[in-house]
Each structure stands twice: as C-alpha cells, then as structure tokens.
Structure 1
Amino acid sequence: MAMRTERVRLGTMLTPVSRRRPWKLAREVATLDQLSKGRMVLPVGLGALDDAGFAKVGEATDRKIRAQMLDEGLAILAGLWSGRPFSYEGEYYHMEEMTFLPPPVQSPRVPIWVVGAWPRKKSMRRVLRWDGLLPNKLNDDGSFAEITPADIGEMKRFIDEQRSETTPFDIIWEGRTPGEDRRKAAEIVRPWAEAGATWWMEAMWTAPNGPDDVRKRVRQGPPRIA
C-alpha cells in the first residue's frame, strides 16, 4: 500500500508494543515511513486484555507490567527515530548507544496514537506525551463504558488544559457510516467532529461478504461533513 498510494495515511490498528522488540518495531515503522514518503502513523496500546496464551510462552500478562513496557518501548522508539546517538537503560529494556539510520521521514517522529482509558489519570497522562488519543472509557469497576460525543468533548478539554507540547494532536473515533448515503454519513460523523474528534476511522470489524464488502466501502470514500 505504501508504494501504490500517494495520499492516504497508513498505520496499524493497533500495535501492542509490549509484545514487540522496540528496536525491530522502530525499523519496521521507519521503513514504511520511508516507502510512503512520510505517511505512516503508529497506533499503540496494551493489546488484548485476556491472557490469550502468552503466559504459556513466558510473556508478561500483568496489565501494570505491560503498561510499563509500553512506556519504555515508546521512549525507545522516539529516541531511535531522532537519528542521533541513543542508549537506554530501563527495567525491561536495555540498549547500548547506537545511531539509527535512516530515521523516518517525519520529524521529530512518526506520529504515535495511544489508547487512553478515560478518566484514568495515569493512562491519560501517557497520552499527553504523544500525538493522538484512541479513547476508551471505563466504569468504576473497570468495565468498558459507552462513549458519547460529550465524553469526547471532556477528553479534549482535559488534553487542551494539561498537554504542554505544542505539536499537533489528534483524537480518533471509529464507527460505521453508509457509503451510499452521504447525508446520513455526515449526520453520524458531525457530532463527533464538533466534540473534538479529528479523525474518523471507518470500523469494519465484521464484513458479511468478506473482502468484497471492504473494497466496496473503500471505493465509496470517507464520510464528509463539509
């Protein structure tokens, strides 16, 4: 896709950094950014919350440990992508000094979108250090809650008030829109955009007719509110 397209952004949905070697991930993403001439985005998070068999092969399954590994992994990605000499000494990752060349096209780094669990302050503070929010909302018991445009508005206000970086920041929301009905699609998307979402991700977790459904929806193009 990087070689066959010219304008679309490319990215994963999403990458659990604690399940990857950060230096290998850094090279893979930088290569895609080079091939696409600076169109790569890296959405990241903890990944699936269930064990999914990882304990059987000796990988960390505790959410707190995986969150710490995520933080360390992101620091390594940013350091390597700087193109300057970089070393790292953390609890989970260790790197002797090296210079990572060539770096990505985008500077200071490929944009990193991070899953944030609203209103958990520690999770949201992680988001503030990077370039975008993939929002979740949690109830007091830790279960997932439905998100409304009003919730997105609250998250945006928190980000505007708390984020010290001056680099661009995106809020990403996903849903389904009817590609054959532009007006209806705009009605679905507009409340989220007005609340502060900057990206709409067309969610296609289920495609009854397989790849044909996906191709048809792609050809219909994204929803527009203007």
Structure 2
Amino acid sequence: MTTRRGLFVAPFDALADPRVVGDLAAEAEAVGWDGFFVWDHLLYGDRVAAIADPWTCCAAIAMRTERLLLGPMVTPLPRRRPQVLARQAASLAVLSGGRFVLGLGLGDDWVGEFSAFGDEPDPRVRGRMLDEGLAVLTGLLGGGTVDHEGEHQVARGVRFRPAPRVPVWLAGRHGNRAPLRRAASYDGFFVIGLDGPADLDTVTADLAAHEPGPGFDVVVDLQPDQDPGAWVDRGASWVLTRIGPYDLDLDDVRRIVRAGPGPA
C-alpha cells in the first residue's frame, strides 16, 4: 500500500489569510506533499483570535496548485445546508480538476460553536442531522434526482449539475462506533484521538467488518515531531501532519512545510 502524506492546517491567527494559505500550499506541492487540508471552525476558544473561511482557502489552494488533494477536514454537516454545500463542493471539484475531498463530521460544541449561534447543541440530534444531510448531499453530488422528506432535511425532486466525483471522508473519535460504521459506507475514515499506532489495528479490523469499498482511505494526523513510519506500517493510507491550532508562527510553519513529507 502506498501511503500519502498531507498537511492538516488550522487557518488561524498567522494563517487566517487565504493568500497565505495558498502560498503555503504552493510550497507544499513543490517539496512533495500529497495533500493540504484545512480545519473548518467558526470559533476555537480564547487562544485563537482570527479564523479564515476554509472554503475560500480551498479555492486559493486549488488555484495555486496542480497536484495536491485538498479539502475541509472536516466540516460539520449539521450546521450546513446540504444543498448549498453540494454546490460548493461541486464547484471546488471542478476548480481543482478533480482534486477536492469533502471531509465531514458531527462537529463539537466544546467552545459553544453550535450553541452560540442557535445551532443544534445535542450531539445525538446532530447525528441524525448528519445522516439525513449525507443522504441529500451525496444524492445531489451523484447527479440523480433526489426526493427526501425527513425530520431535518427536505429535497423535492431536485437534480444538480455539474455532478463531479467528490470523495467523502467521515471523521470520528477512536472508540466511537457510530462514526466508524457511518464512514465505512463512504470513501474514507479520518480517525481522531488515537493513543498510538497499535490502535490502528482495532480500527482496521472494525472497518473490515463493515466491508468498505475498494480504495477506502484510513486517515490519521500526527504532530510535526512524530515519526509517521509506525502508522504507515499499521495500515494508514494517509498520514497528515498537524499544524495548529495555537500560537502559530508563520516562519515555523514554513519550516515544517519546506522540510517536506520525508520517507513514507
């Protein structure tokens, strides 16, 4: 298995400028990184002051690169309108020439990111919203006619064009069964909160029980000083290097980016 290496970048504070993110992505591509993924948050507590819009950042990355995969990692679908998100995702897939990956998840209200704006704070309700949103979103991205009348989402006999191929990765914390089970029906699982490489054995065994499709991606993220080798050996198809969230210094970030991914 070929393992790809990417950057998992919080567009916060010193990086809260899509032009800076685009510059970093161009440098990342030049030194051999395979992907550049940006966090999607509206709030991140008192230690983060400025935050850039990840969708604008994705557009900047798409325009400044030719090879890198890119996307939000991850956007909380329960706070989005899936039909609007489908239009955005399709446009970014076209803009990037098919390099866009849509990372989705439940979201977390730990700093009031949902409740501060009147969005749904209950994670169980957000789980149902996520499943309904996925049905509408993937149906629209698939190009077929979508008829859905649900508790949270409605789509009445609608069909979208263009309908480019957009891989969907679902995120979830290690040990939570529902996100893993949900992810197995899509294109990848971004597993958060692993204590060590051995945890991937459990993840891959549990995924195998749900029979994910060919080319399914298992994605992990590490700190810049962590050795990716052991994670590659355990079956990760993507190993991302985390940049952020706190005390970001642009010169330090550039050093991480320019050092390249190293051997996989």
Q: TM-score, normalised by structure 1?
A: 0.82
- Residue aligning to 2:62: 2
Q: How do residues 180-199 of structure 1 correspond to structure 2 at under 5 angstroms?
A: 188-199=227-238
Q: Does 1:69 align with 2:129?
A: yes
Aligned partners of 2:185 and 2:213 also within 8 Å:
no
The reply on whether 1:121 has 2:160 as its aligned counterpart is no
- Aligned 1:67-106 pairs, distance under 5 A: 67-104=127-164, 106=165
Whichever residue aligns with residue 221 of structure 2, its letter is: E
- Identify unmatched segments of 5+ residues in structure 2: 1-60
- Structure 2 residue 205 is matched with structure 1 residue 170: no
> What's the Cα RMSD here?
2.0
Cα shift readout 1:95-148 (whole Å, capped 9, x = no counterpart) = 1111101112x2xxx1111123333333321111111111135xxxxxxxx521
How far off is 1:64 after superposition?
Answer: 0.4
Equivalent pairs, count: 204
More displaced, 2-11 or 44-53? Answer: 44-53
TM-score normalized by the length of structure 2: 0.71
AA at the equivalent of 1:36:
S
AA matched with 1:162: H
Deviates more, 1:199-208 or 1:77-86: 199-208
Query: Which of 199, 209, 216 is the equivalent residue of 1:151?
Result: 199
Counting only pairs closer than 5 Å after superposition, residues 36-51 of structure 1 correspond to structure 2 as 36-50=96-110
Residue 3 of structure 1 aligns to a residue in which SS? Answer: helix
What letter matches 2:253 in structure 1?
Answer: V
Q: Is the 2:108–2:114 Cα contact (8 Å) retained in structure 1?
A: no
Residue 12 of structure 1, aligned match among 56, 67, 72: 72
Q: What CA deviation, in whole Å up to 9, does each residue of 1:148-185 have, x standing for no partner?
A: 1111111112212322x43311111111335xxxxxx7
User: How big is the shift at 1:51?
Assistant: 5.9
1:29 equivalenced with 2:124 (yes/no): no
Structure 1 counterpart SS, 2:93: helix
Q: Larger Cα Rg: Structure 1 or Structure 2? A: 1
CA distance in 1, matches of 2:124, 2:246: 34
Unaligned runs of 5+ in 1: 138-145, 179-184
DSSP 3-state at the match of 1:134:
strand
* Relative contact order higher in (CA < 8 Å, ≥ 6 apart): 2
Distance across 2 between alignment mates of 1:76 and 1:92: 11
Change (3 A) 1:56 1:203: closer
Instruction: Check 1:203–1:118 CA distance in 2 against 1; reply closer, same or farther (3 A cut).
Output: closer
Cα separation, 2, equivalents of 1:53 and 1:208: 20
